[in-house]
Every structure is written in structure tokens, then in C-alpha cells.
Chains A and B, each alone.
Chain A
């Protein structure tokens, strides 16, 4: 018989496929690994070593980077931490309340509000940023964390409202009906039945809020101009200015530090991330 047997062909094809995918994986990941390795090299070595081999662990970049700005780097991490915690709490609370109303309650104009909510998901942020800035400026809130946190307590991230509506719709109505017959009001049903059952949706929303808020640059750039209020992205950016973009060792070291929380979320929250994107199309 001429030619290889069919299973040999399919095995060959599978090997080829894996080879292609592994090559693609390497191309995708190489820059990140190279940044990690480079953060452990003196700056002059960074500029002539494209490889990943380390002769020694050069930790000076981390020490230098940590202390290069007006405050030690942990100061900016705490700032970012405050904003992230505020944003996560705000989003979970306000978005789940709105989602319960949309998913379970019948009230006047519900369809209209729901349609508006869906449209705000697609509204470009830049259309509202100028007047928002003017308002926060008038109330003296520029250079506080309020402009970054307050809107979250008012469910402005409509994407999460939608995500939670979808989830609550999947919870059997019999559960609320039973509680209602037992005399529970809406707030008791919401807190005692719906909230415990929607933990996966809350986790997804918390993880996305964490990622987006931690890496958010634009809002911080606009509202936080005092160096003491800088969040991590702003601190990284001021590195670039302070060293006129030449101290790559320290810059890479602090970049790695800034990516560690995201990477941890990625490792431990991957299930929720993948599900969240697959069901609603988040970033």
C-alpha cells in the first residue's frame, strides 16, 4: 500500500499543530519573560543581551527602583490598593443591587432603563470625562481618590450590571418564591438567597474590576496630579520622565512589581476570567 496509514497522517498533523502552537506561545510570552530576566540585569547588559540566560541575580534594580521616586514604591502600591478596594466594593454592591432589580423585579419603565443600561456599556468614556472633571474639580475632589471610587458605588460600570443580570436569570425562581411565601421582603431575598448564590458572578466582577482598576492609567492621569497621590501606573510613568527613559533596569524591575498582582489574579482567578469573557465579552 502506498503512503502512510491514516492514523499516521493524523498523528503527523497533530505534531505539526502542536509545533505551530508552541512556536506561537514562545513568540507571545518571550517579551514578558525577557522583561523579567532583564529586570535582574544591569542596564548596560539589557541593551546587548536578547537571550534569557542569567549569570547572576542582579537585585540592585529592585532596590534602586523602589527608592527612585519621592516616596518608596510601596507608597504607590498602597494608593493603588485603596482605589482598587474601593472600586471592587463599590462595583459589587451597586451593580448587584441594580442587577437584582432588572432580573427579578417588575417596575414601570423597566425595559427602557434596561435598554439605556445596555447602551451605556458601549458609550465611550471620553464623552463624559470633561464635564465629570469639571464637577469633581468644582467640589475640590481633584487629587483625592473620590473621582476614581465614587462612580463605582453608583454602578457606572454597566458591564457588570449586565453580567450579573445574566447570572441571576439563571437562578431558579422557585427559591425566591419559597422565601417570599415564608414572608421575606426583597432585601432579605436579595441578601440571604441571591447574593450567596451569585458568588461566581461576584468573583468574576471583582476580578475584572481589580484588573481594570489596577492598570487604569487615563483616569489616574487626569485626576491625580499631586505626586503623593500617584497610583502605580502614574509612578511608573514618572519613572520614564525622571530618568528620561534611560534607567531601564530599575524601570523593568518596578514594571515587574506592578504586574505581580495581575499575574496572581490570573493564576488563581483564571476560571472566572475565562468564563466572564466567554459569556459577556469583557476584555
Chain B
């Protein structure tokens, strides 16, 4: 169902006899010209906007390019600087916290609500819409502005607390201990899209498994642990990989809520925010390129860990 399973299929489909290969080659040459004609825009884009820039930024990582003077090769200077850059370390801490707390929390809520919504219940389309709407709007500047107000000193949350008689005077977005948590909460609030994916996955579990389990006298807890969870594990894995990759790249929310600074005291300095500051405010393009590559390495490592760990907990039925 997904790009992920498609990739793993490619890896395993390599066994062919010489005859099969010859037949394939013959068929291949027939469409060759048309194939590349249709693919031309994508190919140009791939080289001009993806592979070319990737190689360029790899080169720039080893330079001091600042957009005005031509780049000087500085070897590992940027990497050495990164090792001693406290704000970079802070941005990594912030981003890791956001990813490691926000993503699992969001997926747990998404799965929980999806389980409540399962199987032709009344009002399902209504609930699904209501829960999905925030995740559609969550990346917008408007919602980030709203968040800034809600968690401000006189924001909605404190107003509600005061209405309950609590003496609430903390501005959550302007307090270093709380600011990041408001962003994590915003992330959890957008659980709608993984929830929709879970719902689709739950619908694909054949009812005969549930019937068989019920016949064997399994209780609902056991059915969940022994039937639903294993059969849903590929979907959980898919959501996990996707959300981790996405969460590492979050930008708008932190930028707007902190007014572009990543503050207070760098407590919401997302990695991407710091990268933006270095590259596009200070025009340290070399350093920003090195940071971009570190981000790629981190995301790739996380994805690889996910794939490796998947062997132990993801169950494929086919």
C-alpha cells in the first residue's frame, strides 16, 4: 500500500532466468524512447532540483561559502565547528525531544481513537472529519498564531483555568520549561492523518480472525493483543517512519510561536530553525549545508533503525 512496501518489493524481486531476462530486454527496447519522453520532466527535475543540489550541498559543506565571495575549501572546519556549537547541540536536544515524545504520543492517540471508531459505527464520517480537520490546518501560520495566543499569559488556557478559580499567570509560550511542550501538544493535536491511515488498515483485517478468536473464547484484551495489533503492525510501522521523517523537518509552528527566534532561551530552537538562521539570516551557506547533511544522516539513521527494529515486531501476513 505504501512507498515503503514498494521499496522492499523491489529489493526482493531479483531472480530471473536468462530467457526471462532476454524476453524482458526485447520488450524493454520497444518502449524505450517513449518511456524517456514521458519521464523527461521528472528526470530534468531530479538532476536540477534533487541530485545536483545534493552534490552541491555536499561540496559546500566543506567550504565557507557566504553567497558573496566564492567558496573556499576549508576541509573539516565546519564539522569541527559543529562539534563545539552549543546552539547546535541545543537544537538537536529540542528536536530529539520533539520527535521522541511527540511522534509516539500522536500515534498512540491516533490508534486509540481509530480503535474507538472502527467498524461501521453510527456517526463515523462525522467523527472522522472532526478529528481530521486539525491535521489539515495544523501546518498553517494561522493555527500557529492561534497557538501563540492560546498558550500566552492571557491566552485561552489561562482564561479557562481562571474561570475554574486557578491563579494562572504563566505564559506557556514564553516560559523555557513549557514552550516546547505546547509545540508537542500541537503535534499531537494533528493526529488526524495517521488516524485515517489506521482506520483504513483496521478495515482490511478480515473479520474471520475476530470470529475465530471469539469462538476460542478470547476476551477483548487478548483479541487486541493477539489479532489486531499484529495485523496492524505494518501500518503502525508505516505511520511511525513517515511521522518521524516529517517531525524532524517541522519548522512553521516553532518559527511562528517563537516569533522566529526559537526562544525563549532557545527552548524551541528546532534544528530546521537553526539551519534557517545560519543559512538565510547569516548567509553562512557552507555551515548550513553541513547542517543539512547532518540532518539527512540523522533521519536516515532513524529510518534505518526503524527498518531494522521492524524485523522483530512487524508482522506480515502474506
Chain A residues proximal to chain B, CB less than 8 Å:
14, 17-18, 20-21, 24-25, 28-29, 31-32, 34-35, 46-50, 93-95, 97-98, 100-102, 105-108, 110-111, 113-135, 137, 151, 153-156, 158-159, 161-162, 185-186, 190, 211-212, 215, 217-218, 221-222, 232-233, 236-237, 240-241, 245, 248, 251-252, 255-256, 258-259, 262-263, 266, 270, 273-274, 277-283
Specify which of A35, A102, A105, A217 is in contact with B255 (CB 8 Å cutoff).
A217
Taking A25-B127, A135-B53 as given, write out 6 further A-B residue pairs in contact, using a Cβ cutoff of 8 Å, ordered by the A residue number: A31-B150, A94-B45, A131-B56, A133-B279, A278-B196, A281-B238
Interface size on B, residues (CB 8 A): 101
**Chain A neighbourhood of B142, CB < 8 A:** 35, 236, 255-256, 258-259
Whether A236 and B141, one on each chain, are in contact in the complex, defined by CB atoms closer than 8 angstroms, is yes
Whether A126 and B255, one on each chain, are in contact in the complex, defined by CB atoms closer than 8 angstroms, is no
Whether A119 and B7, one on each chain, are in contact in the complex, defined by CB atoms closer than 8 angstroms, is yes
A41 to B152, CA, bound (A): 18
Nearest CB in chain A: distance from B294 CB, A: 10
**Chain B neighbourhood of A281, CB < 8 A:** 1-3, 197, 238-239, 242
Whether A118 and B7, one on each chain, are in contact in the complex, defined by CB atoms closer than 8 angstroms, is yes
Q: Mark B21-48, 1 if CB is under 8 A from A, else 0.
A: 0001001111110111111111111101
Whether A29 and B133, one on each chain, are in contact in the complex, defined by CB atoms closer than 8 angstroms, is yes
Nearest CB in chain B: distance from A179 CB, A: 14
Whether A31 and B130, one on each chain, are in contact in the complex, defined by CB atoms closer than 8 angstroms, is no
Known contacts A128-B49, A130-B279, A151-B49; A48 and B57 CB within 8 A of each other: no
Nearest CB in chain B: distance from A171 CB, A: 16
Nearest CB in chain B: distance from A140 CB, A: 14
Whether A97 and B140, one on each chain, are in contact in the complex, defined by CB atoms closer than 8 angstroms, is no
Nearest CB in chain A: distance from B155 CB, A: 8
Chain B residues proximal to chain A, CB less than 8 Å:
1-3, 6-7, 10, 24, 27-32, 34-46, 48-50, 52-54, 56-57, 60, 65, 67, 113, 116-117, 121-123, 127-137, 139-143, 145-146, 148-150, 154, 156, 159-160, 163, 189, 193, 196-197, 199-200, 238-239, 242, 245-246, 248-249, 251-252, 255-256, 259, 272, 275-276, 279-280, 285, 288-289, 292-293, 295-296, 299, 303
**Chain B neighbourhood of A93, CB < 8 A:** 41
Whether A130 and B288, one on each chain, are in contact in the complex, defined by CB atoms closer than 8 angstroms, is yes
A-B complex: 10 closest residue pairs judged by Cβ atoms: A154-B45, A107-B35, A255-B142, A278-B200, A101-B38, A131-B56, A131-B53, A98-B42, A128-B53, A50-B159
Whether A107 and B197, one on each chain, are in contact in the complex, defined by CB atoms closer than 8 angstroms, is no
Specify which of B2, B129, B193 is in contact with A283 (CB 8 Å cutoff).
B193
**Among the interface residues B3, B148, B293, which one has the most CB atoms of the partner chain A within 10 A?**
B3
Whether A245 and B259, one on each chain, are in contact in the complex, defined by CB atoms closer than 8 angstroms, is yes
